[in-house]
Structure 1
């Protein structure tokens, strides 16, 4: 199994400012606070570099932090046991992110079906529909609101690859994101 959905190409080159973090699965157990701490760190790390090139520091920090936090929370929430790797880079005004984690086959199938649905239509229209549907059904979940917000409100270009490691084993999920920082 090796499927791709959306924009899975990264373009930042060797001259980009880059960072790679590994959240190790182990005795501390990966949790929500790791998402916010990591996203704040990366938001600050790259926003300082954006500021030097004339971009609005607060806007860059917020946009990068929100993007990282949303994708990292999904990785933590739906992951199978294993590390999460976060690779990020900035070249000019283009921020790129790649988050890799393991998911079980059932989660991969459900998530893949949701992604096909989310990428088939205009994200702004679908975002409004999903907000209305969630308001009508308080018990609904897994609607993709975070991903739709990234695409609609932030202009993020997102993509995913699913790669089965072994016949009966987990699936390696890689999430790609590109964001232009103004």
Structure 2
């Protein structure tokens, strides 16, 4: 069964002309260093169109890099062994990304429970609630703070599709995100 959380229109026709990067699992193992390196590469690539203004370039590169890094880190942290596919595109003032990876059933269930909580209500209010809850109990993980920060502080729109993967004990998670990237005119 396929399940959707978040903004449905993000997942429809989002990647018609996307650049694609695949992170393969192998002898080097996927790790945190791959997240930052890949996020920096994608941010540099898509921020280039803003290079006529140093401020626009820096803002675009930062916003894209933060979004991409957060989504890749989540994919690396929670994935079942296998590749992670990142697809990204930019159109008139909007950066879009899709990150796909497989997870086990237990991870999928826990993530769906989290999404059922953080995709309803005001992201800014939920972010404050989660920060307070984490401060009261710092040992709790998987709080969704990164996703709530993206929604609250960066204006990210997010969607997730969970569907059966090729292997029976796995679920494919497709994470879709878009953030506005504006260019100021001097």
TM-score, scaled to structure 1: 0.92
Alignment of 1:36 onto 2:36: yes
Instruction: Quote how far apart the aligned CAs of 1:55 are.
Output: 7.6
Instruction: Quote how far apart the aligned CAs of 1:172 are.
Output: 0.3
How far apart, in 1, do the equivalents of 2:14 and 2:140 lie? 38
What pairs with 1:136-175 in structure 2 (closer than 5 Å)?
136-165=136-165, 168-175=168-175
Instruction: Give yes or no for contact 2:15–2:87 (8 Å, CA) kept in 1.
Output: no
Structure 2 counterpart of 1:107: 107
Alpha-carbon spacing, 1:23–1:13, altered in 2? closer, same or farther (3 Å): closer
Structure 2 counterpart of 1:64: 64
Instruction: Give yes or no for contact 1:79–1:104 (8 Å, CA) kept in 2.
Output: yes
How far apart, in 2, do the equivalents of 1:123 and 1:80 lie? 28
Instruction: Give yes or no for contact 1:43–1:61 (8 Å, CA) kept in 2.
Output: yes
Alpha-carbon spacing, 1:91–1:52, altered in 2? closer, same or farther (3 Å): farther
Structure 2 counterpart of 1:50: 50
How far apart, in 2, do the equivalents of 1:53 and 1:161 lie? 37
The RMSD of aligned alpha carbons is 1.9
- Cα deviation, 1:40-63, whole Å, max 9, x if unaligned, reads 001111011233599800000000
SS of equivalent residue, structure 2 residue 51: helix
Flag structure 1 segments of 5+ consecutive residues without an equivalent.
Answer: none
TM-score, scaled to structure 2: 0.91
Instruction: Give yes or no for contact 1:40–1:65 (8 Å, CA) kept in 2.
Output: yes
Alpha-carbon spacing, 1:89–1:122, altered in 2? closer, same or farther (3 Å): same
Deviates more, 1:27-36 or 1:53-62: 53-62
Flag structure 2 segments of 5+ consecutive residues without an equivalent.
Answer: none
